[in-house]
Amino acid sequence: MTADDPTATRGPVHIVGTGLLGTSIALALTARGVSVTLADTSPSMLALARDLGAGTIARADANTASDTGPTPSAAGDAPALVVVAVPPDVTADEVAHALRRFPDAVVTDVASVKSVLLAELHELAAGDPRVELSRYVGSHPMAGREKSGAAAASADLFIGRPWVLAAHEDASERAILTVRALAADAGASLVSMDADEHDDAVALISHVPQLMASLMAAQLVDAPERALALAGQGVRDVTRIAASEPRLWSAILTGNAAAVSPLLRTIRDDLDALVRAIDRAAAEGPLAPGAVAGISRLIAAGNDGVARVPGKHGGARRRYAEVTVLVPDEPGELGRLFSEVGEIGVNIEDFQMEHSPKQKVGMAIVSVTQEAAQPLEQALEQRGWRVVAP
């Protein structure tokens, strides 16, 4: 970013909410030299974000001060952009509050639901001319982690990730360009959608998967310890995102209920069909008529769905070869493996690590291009690594 770049984000930027997304946006902007002020109803969260270098604490907290009070800039300057990064059930009120409080600022939010939020804002604007929606553009960066809060924030969180800009019909060109600049400066890839399309999309690729992970993980609560001791990477992969904040996800899912509900009904129908096939096999034996076909259809449909998920860098999904290497469970060994793979001249396309309980080694599964797999295996074995045959 340069001082005369007309497309760059201009400060001060005021960020309301110093959780994972709010603090990560602040860190990305301050790293580019943009002046950022912070506000949060939690003094400890606010102080942590400040101490991480996300910005300065606002002189007057925009969450608690009156609409006519002093601006929240530490320097006394009104913000050019306000980013509302609070839970979706309170986002509309905070956006309206910012529009009233800063009559010259563009306001955006990063909530994961858009249609309900926009309807709430239209209702608020109808009763208050200060809620000028031409200065508002909704957005949603498609990035996150299982952990929440400022402690999990990173300036690199949005690099290469989609950032949805959900502009409504009354949004001004200035507001749209300002939010586009924010996404670009955070390193994200901009995607334009209307509110309904966004909500349908995130229900499919984010909200329902969260519920599926939580449903499966809930089955483990009363599982025998001997069964859990057998857990491998499969159950870890399926349940990884289940370690999420219940209150936040309750607000997200109820806010997007209209899009989530039909998907759950479709899954219920598929599950009912699967239960019928499994019940038939349980009652009549594994070769019961229709049992194998019913199960096979579902697994095959899953194969087709996985094949449609975009691959690395958002392009067509590629099939990589996997090289499995035993790595001693000692400090520095995994780093040594990565370093030596680089010295061999092979790029790691993907990676996962599996551990067996009470074992002193882990299995590093390195995904590489098909043509690189065999030379990599040979080179690693020559360097003393134990490569596990597929």
DSSP state of 135: G
Verify cis geometry, omega within 30 degrees of 0, for the bond prior to 12: yes
Read off the pTM.
Answer: 0.79
CATH superfamily of 200-312: 6-phosphogluconate dehydrogenase C-terminal like domain (1.10.3660.10)
Contact partners, residue 211, CB within 8 Å, separation at least 6: 253, 260, 264
What pLDDT is stored for residue 147 in this prediction? 73
What pLDDT is stored for residue 311 in this prediction? 67
What are the pLDDT digits (tens) for 357-374? 666 788 889 999 999 999
User: What is the number of alpha carbons within 13 Å of residue 48 lying toward its C-beta?
Assistant: 18
Distance between CA atoms of 321 and 327, rounded to whole angstroms? 19
What pLDDT is stored for residue 146 in this prediction? 66
CATH number assigned to the domain with residue range 321-388, chosen from the 4 options 3.40.710.10, 1.10.10.10, 3.30.70.260, 3.30.70.1350: 3.30.70.260
Distance between CA atoms of 178 and 313, rounded to whole angstroms? 25
**200-312 shares its CATH topology with 321-388:** no
What pLDDT is stored for residue 353 in this prediction? 84
CATH architecture of 13-193: 3-Layer(aba) Sandwich (3.40)
What pLDDT is stored for residue 75 in this prediction? 41
What are the pLDDT digits (tens) for 313-324? 555 566 788 999
What pLDDT is stored for residue 315 in this prediction? 55
Segments of the chain scoring below 50 in pLDDT = 1-3, 61-66, 68-75
What pLDDT is stored for residue 64 in this prediction? 39
Task: Please state the domain extents for the chain.
Answer: 13-193, 200-312, 321-388
